[in-house]
Amino acid sequence: MIVINMFSSANKVAGQGVGAVYTELMGLLKHDFANEFQINVNRYTRSDISHYHTIDPKFYASTFSKKRGRKIGFVHFVPSTLDASLKLPRVARWTLDKYTLAFYKRMDELVVVNPNFIPKLEAYGISPEKVTYIPNFVSQRTFHPVSAEKRQALRHANGFKPDDFVIFGAGQVQDRKGVGDVIKLAQRNPDFRFVWAGGFSFGRITEGYERLKQAVANAPANLDFTGIMPRETMIDYYNMADLFLLPSFEELFPMSVLEAFATGTPVMVRDLELYQQIITPYAITAADVDDMQARIRALADDRELLATYATKSHQAAQVYAESRLEKIWHDFYVKQAALGKQ
């Protein structure tokens, strides 16, 4: 049996994707490979593999122990992602950027969820040969479509009329997530209902915190900021929505998009290069807020077009299904354990 020590504090901060990625992977390993992998969490006992999901200083210190076996690092961000998300003094930002890269360079192998980040890591001096691309996934035991009857019941229970066009978005309240464009779209479309699930996961150090807090407090009447929402509640909102909108300016591989795909909800994202290999084939893409406005109106007026993108979401759900990713993760861990014994 291969012993894997997972190191993570991902679930200490609510409402951010790293925790969802960790939860999904742990669920897969325990559900499908309990007889092949012994999974320990935040234990410093001897292991064949140590898989680091977060970059805590105490975890960094542990990488110098010979007990760690093969060291695997999960790349959830690079310095540019942090710079766009957190407001830190210049010295603190420089220190965090340097520390992040130092952590990654301590690893024997890195896992990225978006192939677009392999050349970015190379620019920071990390060889592509020590980087493996494994996409995110969601379990369809957790996120799945509901019946038309249940959908209508959910909409009624949450105050939506049968003919309301409901646009749902999710993520931390940050400029990087395009929240400002969601507010503009709500202002331009008072006849549509908008819901944004997410909050200030990092509190006052969120970039633009005070301004965004005021924007949320003064949001249009047709836009509801729900705050951080449990994942078990999120499934209801994906299923209630006519469209899932994520207008982020920068991402890696957003779990919220995969969750929307899994429920068969049409997805709209900003047209970003980093989406081209992973999301663009299945989603509506828009260049800017004006393009989003035009495309949302077109979708609201053409239910057949909306249904076409619902079908694309179902197709994407199969590509990023747990059932497909389980073999990829299994083979990856087996290979890494073998390399660790060489």
Quick one: pLDDT at residue 61? 97
Q: Are residues 95 and 242 in the same domain?
A: no
Quick one: pLDDT at residue 82? 64
Q: Are residues 331 and 208 in the same domain?
A: no
pLDDT tens string 75-88: 988 887 666 566 66
Residue-range definition of the domain harbouring residue 28:
2-137+322-340
DSSP 166-226: EEEEES-S-GGGTHHHHHHHHHH-TTSEEEEEB--TTGGGBTTHHHHHHHHHT--TTEEEE
Q: Are residues 287 and 182 in the same domain?
A: yes
Within-domain flag for 142: no
Q: Are residues 166 and 308 in the same domain?
A: yes
Q: Are residues 306 and 335 in the same domain?
A: no
Among 36-45, 85-94, 327-336, whose mean pLDDT is lowest? 85-94
Q: Could you tell me the two tokens for 312?
A: 């694309």
Quick one: pLDDT at residue 202? 63
Quick one: pLDDT at residue 22? 92
**Average pLDDT over every residue of 139-154:** 95
Give yes or no for residue 14 having a pLDDT over 60. no
Q: Are residues 313 and 165 in the same domain?
A: yes
Q: Could you tell me the two tokens for 160?
A: 């939506």
pLDDT tens string 221-248: 999 999 989 888 999 999 999 999 999 9
Q: Are residues 219 and 329 in the same domain?
A: no
Q: CA–CA separation, 319 vs 266, rounded Å?
A: 16
Give yes or no for residue 304 having a pLDDT over 90. yes
Within-domain flag for 143: no
Q: Are residues 261 and 277 in the same domain?
A: yes
Give yes or no for residue 317 having a pLDDT over 70. yes
Q: CA–CA separation, 168 vs 170, rounded Å?
A: 7
Q: Are residues 219 and 265 in the same domain?
A: yes
Mean pLDDT over all residues of the chain?
92
Q: Are residues 224 and 132 in the same domain?
A: no
CATH number, domain containing residue 267: 3.40.50.2000
Within-domain flag for 197: yes
Quick one: pLDDT at residue 13? 59
Percentage of the chain surpassing pLDDT 70? 94
Number of domains into which the chain is organized: 2
Among 136-150, 193-207, 241-255, whose mean pLDDT is lowest? 193-207
Q: Which residues contact 131 (CB under 8 A, 6 or more apart)?
A: 75, 109, 110, 111, 112, 118, 121
Q: Are residues 56 and 133 in the same domain?
A: yes
Band the pLDDT of 10: cuts 50, 70, 90. Answer: confident
**Average pLDDT over every residue of 178-202:** 92
Characterize the bridge pairing of strands 284-286 and 37-41: unpaired
Within-domain flag for 172: yes
pLDDT tens string 281-293: 999 999 999 999 9
Q: CA–CA separation, 264 vs 143, rounded Å?
A: 10
Q: Are residues 314 and 214 in the same domain?
A: yes
Q: Which residue do the tokens 């603190």 mark?
A: 92
Quick one: pLDDT at residue 336? 98
pLDDT tens string 248-264: 998 888 999 999 999 99
Within-domain flag for 234: yes
